[in-house]
């Protein structure tokens, strides 16, 4: 419940922060799904499916973190 004198934040800055957080989560998830899926497909075709999938997941996490870092540092300038 909301107290009588409490107000919810309505500033554009709060919405921008929320948007940045969800974009970061989405970027990391998409990277893991995309590159993990590609690793799975390559592994299914050539064998060693779990090794290729793990490598794809690690690559997806790394690239997702890199894109998120570049987006955040570009926005803070």
Domain extents for the chain?
32-71
Tens of pLDDT, residue by residue over 34-61, are: 999 999 999 999 989 999 999 999 999 9
pLDDT of 73 above 80: yes
Handedness of CA 55, 60, 66, 69 (dihedral sign): negative
Q: What is the pLDDT of residue 43?
A: 95
The CA-based angle 23-24-28, given to 5 degrees, is 115
């Amino acid at each position: 419940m909301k107290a009588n004198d409490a107000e919810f934040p309505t500033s554009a800055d709060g919405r921008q922060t929320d948007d940045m957080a969800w974009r970061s989560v989405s970027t990391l998830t998409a990277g893991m799904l995309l590159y993990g899926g590609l690793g799975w497909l390559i592994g299914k075709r050539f064998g060693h499916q779990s090794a290729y999938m793990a490598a794809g997941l690690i690559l997806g996490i790394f690239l997702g973190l890199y894109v998120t870092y570049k987006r955040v540092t570009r926005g803070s300038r």
